[in-house]
Amino acid sequence: MDARKAKHGWVWTIFFSVLSVAWVFPIFLVVMNSFKKKVYISKMPFKLPTEKMFVGFDNYVSGVQKTGLIQAFGWSLFITIFSVAAIILFCSMTAWYITRVKDKVTSTIYYLCLFSMIVPFQMVMFTLSKIANMLKLGNPVGIIVVYLGFGAGLSIFMFTGFCKSIPLEIEEAAMIDGCNPLQTFFRVVMPIMKPTCITVTILQAMWIWNDYLLPSLVLDQKKYKTIPIAVQYLKGGYGSVDMGAMMGVLVIAIIPIIIFYIACQKYIIEGVVAGAVKG
């Protein structure tokens, strides 16, 4: 039996190793081609760069100059940080309220949040862009409100699951010591929620940083461009693309989120499991 388990263990190890290589290979391909002349990227995309193909960091410089990447990077960073902060703050407070105040109103709010996770985005695209335009949300501050709305469903679901595992006695003890509800939340509940907060932060940051569709629908692209939108400006007429500059820009775009994910990924499983302690 032990020998059979060991054999199966090796099989699964080999399988997931091959799967990991398959997932990492496209990233390696982008990085490798970012150092080639653009003519060789299309002709020999899978070949390692030789001295004849190698252009150093010319593609990166060209990509930054053509796309205005520095400004786009700043807007992406601003939108991501403040959108995630808003999601963490408001969704955690909403989840705590839903968990502790059990009535028809809170049940309705909870199920509406779950329903928002099911509705396809394509169903609300036109309405969203119309309302965002009417409310003058086509700017980096306005889109934070939009991201808060779209990110609330999953976030409230995760926070609610975790809140159910927090003993009510801890909060009662805080209130006996003189804490009001806000003090109880920020001094007692919020620190306990740390694993789920980090998990939600990682998931939402990766989504918002890489998102193209919402900024393209909401933002005034003449004034504000995020990195995914800036990358699209490397496409010329008749479908022509400056592949060298695009590869360089893509590498610059993915490096921050990869570093962020590697630094925080150990908290993902911890946060998901913590939120699943109680139904």
Domain layout of the chain by residue ranges: 2-50, 59-275
Comparing 15-19, 228-232, 236-240, which segment has the lowest mean pLDDT? 236-240
Cα(136)–Cα(120) distance, rounded to whole angstroms?
24
Who has greater pLDDT, 278 or 209? 209
269 has a pLDDT exceeding 70: no
Average pLDDT over residues 21-38: 87
| pTM metric for this prediction | 0.83
- Asked whether the beta carbons of 57 and 207 are under 8 A apart, the reply is no
Comparing 18-32, 37-51, 234-248, which segment has the lowest mean pLDDT? 234-248
Spell out the residues 6+ positions from residue 55 whose beta carbon is closer than 8 angstroms to its own.
Answer: 35, 36, 37, 244
Average pLDDT over residues 1-17: 70
For the chain, how many residues are written?
279
Q: What is the pLDDT of residues 132-164, one digit of tens each?
A: 889 888 899 999 999 999 999 999 998 998 888
DSSP assignments along 206-272, one per residue = HHHHH--HHHHHHS-TTT---HHHHHHTTB-GGG-B-HHHHHHHHHHHHHHHHHHHHHHTHHHHHHH
Given this model, what pLDDT does residue 276 score? Answer: 47
Cα(70)–Cα(78) distance, rounded to whole angstroms?
12
Tokens (6 digits) for 156: 């409230």
* Whole-number percent of the chain with pLDDT over 90: 22
User: Is the Cα torsion angle 99, 102, 106, 110 positive or negative in sign?
Assistant: positive
- Asked whether the beta carbons of 128 and 146 are under 8 A apart, the reply is yes
3 has a pLDDT exceeding 60: no
Tokens (6 digits) for 141: 């501050």
Average pLDDT over residues 13-33: 86
Query: What is the Cα 200 distance to its own chain's centre?
Result: 9
User: What mean pLDDT value characterizes the chain?
Assistant: 85
To the nearest 10 degrees (0 to 180), the angle between helices 243-264 and 58-67 is: 90
Average pLDDT over residues 30-49: 85
Cα(171)–Cα(189) distance, rounded to whole angstroms?
8
Say which residue the tokens 């907060």 belong to: 197
Given this model, what pLDDT does residue 140 score? Answer: 92
Given this model, what pLDDT does residue 239 score? Answer: 60
Largest Cα separation within the chain, whole Å, is 75
Given this model, what pLDDT does residue 117 score? Answer: 86
CA atoms within 13 A on the CB side of 183: 9
Spell out the residues 6+ positions from residue 79 whose beta carbon is closer than 8 angstroms to its own.
Answer: 140, 143, 144, 147, 208, 215, 226
Cα(39)–Cα(52) distance, rounded to whole angstroms?
11
Class of domain 59-275: mainly alpha
